[in-house]
């Protein structure tokens, strides 16, 4: 009799159970969404009423539009219409405050890691790439401790010692190119991807072999991400992830490739740490300390270290440095060559300045002895910041000071203090870096042009631009407690590599000066020649005799 009670066919049971599971999941997601929306509605009720564009889509808002190459121009058009502080509609009816006001931006960056921290989506994405224990995601005292432990590796004295190694790396590229160009006086089409070796040798004493024709696993994953075709599914997931970051956990090729990048950088980091630990034993004199990047990380890993970091933290910092060295500097160098292909007069002028030197520039010359090289690098960093915007979420109430009084769009209400913007907790605030770097109202009518001379001519930097915080009045490296720790390293490397390339080679677009460029996907947007697959930037390279 017992058996007859369980004669229901097995498939029917499975289907019944699966429907129950799906029902539970659906109800859970719906309930969670309603709770989030209710909280968002309460936040909006407390938030200041600001002008801004109307909602174009309740579900997606504007993030999808702002991820396109036209994003900075859209931000600037809104600033012209709505003023230096406005709000935009985002995912599922949420709002985001956008700052163009210099005084407000300075205040915002000064309170990074305390009053303003990474959004849940940024933490999620950064965690997938480098781990959740890195300087990129930490805040408050943890961030301060991690940053302090690595600061000596990026001091002026430390970078000065590394400058010869920048040249060692770029001369690897030169040797390979000279072989290719030996029998081609009119030049050959070449792709330049050599930055990974530079950070590898200079920062970690490791050769990633990307110049010798043997791409590393890290390089392969970066290229796969850049060459991946746009996926409508991932686009939808990414936009919705602004409210529900866990949606990126759903199986999709891009997230899987990003996780592979994390694993590849982790494997390299583990090898480098172990090798450096063994090589360092017995090498240093008594009382001497290893102030290299890895040396400082190994010191922080000791239990008695004042700035102790866990092994997870150390691995995360290694991944951050690998990532920054390869992706960000490589992107900036590529943009430099593109702009100099467009502007042959500037390329010639830079070559003339560099040709006056009998040898490669010294550290002092790189630092402040080559005004036109400095101008070209500054202009590239202004027009093409690796990150186009900074978004943070507030952890507490704040009052952001403004350069000029701000009034509510309501005809019956103004702010109690029109010179300060009240920010409730859990408010997302965005600084559109690329838009401000190229703003006509800040940089003048030629703001969108590549014009190195603006950095040399008297009065070339407008007064409004001088009010912008950050390196050279640019937001490219952000500012405040989370300003790029390695900016001095990055600029010195940029100048060293570019000086060798321009002094020894002439660069042109293979299809003429009218060649158009576009952006390819990747961990960071990469430049590409319009019509080319992936992130390809094939240039005609000719040797300078």
Q: Do residues 103 and 436 touch, judged by C-beta distance below 8 A?
A: no
The β-bridge relationship of strands 428-431 and 95-99 is: parallel
Kind and range of the H or E run holding 85 = strand 85-89
Measured CA to CA in angstroms, residue 101 lies from 117, 323, 401, 512 at distances of: 20, 31, 9, 40
Backbone angles phi, psi at 77, to 5 degrees: -65, -40
SS3 192: coil
Q: How many CB atoms lie within 10 A of CB 64?
A: 18
Token pair listed for 274:
């172990």
Beta pairing, strands 85-89 & 398-401: unpaired
Q: Which residue is listed with tokens 């042959």?
A: 344
Which H or E run includes 95?
A: strand 95-99
Residue 88's H or E segment, with its range, is: strand 85-89
Query: Annotated binding residue at 341?
Result: no
Write down the residue that tokens 């690595």 correspond to.
150
Kindly report the length of the chain.
Answer: 545
Collapse the DSSP code of 511 into the 3-class scheme (helix H, G, I; strand E, B; otherwise coil) and give the result: coil
3-state secondary structure 25-77: HHHHHHHHHHHHHHHHHHHHHHCCCCCCCCCCCCCCCCHHHHCCCCHHHHHHH
What residues have CB less than 8 Å from 95, skipping those under 6 apart?
Answer: 44, 47, 52, 87, 88, 89, 428
User: Of all helices (H) and strands (E), which one includes residue 258?
Assistant: helix 253-280
* Nearest residue to 491 via CA among 324, 277, 348: 324
Nearest to 377 by CA among 476, 460, 311: 476
How many angstroms separate the CA atoms of 508 and 512, rounded?
Answer: 7
DSSP 335-368: HHHHHHHH-HHHHHHHHHHHHT-SSSPPHHHHHH
- For 189, list phi and psi in degrees, rounded to 5: -85, 120
Task: State phi, psi for 421 to the nearest 5 degrees.
Answer: -100, 115
Alpha-carbon distance values, 186 to 181, 296, 349, 508, 510 (Å): 8, 48, 21, 11, 12
Q: Cβ-count burial of 283 within 10 angstroms (0-12 exposed, 13-18 middle, 19+ buried)?
A: exposed
Q: Which residues are annotated as a binding site for heme?
A: 484
Q: Which residues are annotated as a binding site?
A: 484
């Amino acid at each position: 009799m017992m058996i007859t009670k369980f004669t229901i066919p097995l498939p029917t049971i499975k289907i019944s159970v699966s429907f129950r599971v799906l029902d539970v999941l659906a109800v859970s997601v719906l309930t969670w969404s309603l709770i989030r929306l209710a909280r968002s509605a309460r936040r909006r009720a407390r938030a200041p009423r600001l002008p801004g564009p109307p909602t174009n889509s309740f579900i997606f808002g504007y993030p999808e539009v702002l991820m396109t190459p036209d994003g900075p121009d859209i931000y600037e058009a809104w600033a012209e219409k709505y003023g230096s502080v406005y709000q935009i509609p985002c995912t599922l009816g949420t709002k985001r405050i956008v700052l163009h006001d210099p005084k407000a931006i300075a205040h915002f960056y000064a309170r990074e890691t305390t009053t303003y921290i990474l959004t849940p989506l940024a933490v999620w994405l950064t965690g997938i790439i480098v781990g959740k224990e890195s300087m990129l995601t930490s805040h408050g005292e943890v961030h301060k401790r991690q940053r302090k432990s690595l600061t000596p590796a990026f001091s002026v004295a430390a970078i000065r010692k590394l400058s010869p190694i920048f040249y060692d790396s770029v001369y690897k590229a030169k040797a390979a190119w000279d072989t290719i160009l030996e029998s081609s006086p009119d030049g050959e089409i070449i792709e330049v991807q050599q930055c990974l070796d530079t950070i590898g040798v200079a920062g970690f004493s490791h050769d990633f072999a990307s110049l010798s024709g043997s791409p590393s696993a890290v390089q392969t994953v970066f290229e796969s991400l850049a060459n991946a075709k746009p996926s409508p599914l991932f686009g939808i997931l990414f936009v919705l992830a602004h409210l529900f970051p866990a949606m990126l956990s759903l199986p999709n090729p891009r997230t899987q490739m990003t996780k592979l990048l994390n694993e590849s950088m982790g494997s390299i980091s583990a090898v480098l740490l172990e090798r450096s630990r063994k090589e360092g034993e017995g090498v240093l004199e008594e009382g001497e300390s290893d102030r290299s990047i890895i040396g400082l990380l190994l010191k922080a890993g000791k239990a008695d270290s004042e700035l102790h970091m866990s092994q997870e933290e150390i691995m995360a910092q290694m991944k951050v440095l690998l990532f920054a060295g390869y992706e960000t500097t490589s992107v900036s160098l590529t943009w430099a060559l593109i702009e100099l292909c467009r502007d042959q007069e500037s390329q010639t002028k830079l070559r003339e300045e560099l040709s006056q030197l009998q040898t490669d520039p010294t550290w002092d010359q790189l630092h402040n002895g080559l005004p036109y090289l400095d101008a070209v690098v500054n202009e590239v960093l202004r027009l093409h910041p690796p990150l186009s915007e900074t978004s943070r979420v507030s952890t507490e109430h704040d009052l952001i000071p403004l350069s000029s009084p701000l009034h509510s769009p309501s005809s019956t209400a103004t702010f109690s203090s029109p010179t300060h913007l009240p920010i409730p907790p859990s408010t997302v605030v965005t600084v559109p870096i690329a838009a401000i770097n190229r703003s006509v109202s800040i940089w003048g009518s030629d703001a969108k042009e590549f014009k190195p001379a603006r950095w040399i001519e008297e009065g070339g930097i407008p007064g409004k631009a001088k009010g912008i915080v950050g390196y050279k009045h640019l937001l490219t490296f952000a500012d405040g407690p989370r300003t790029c720790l390695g900016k001095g390293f990055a600029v010195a490397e940029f100048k060293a590599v570019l000086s060798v390339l321009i002094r020894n080679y002439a660069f042109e677009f293979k299809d003429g000066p009218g060649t158009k460029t576009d952006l390819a996907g990747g961990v960071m947007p990469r430049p590409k020649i319009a019509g080319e697959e992936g992130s390809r930037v094939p240039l005609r390279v000719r040797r300078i005799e």
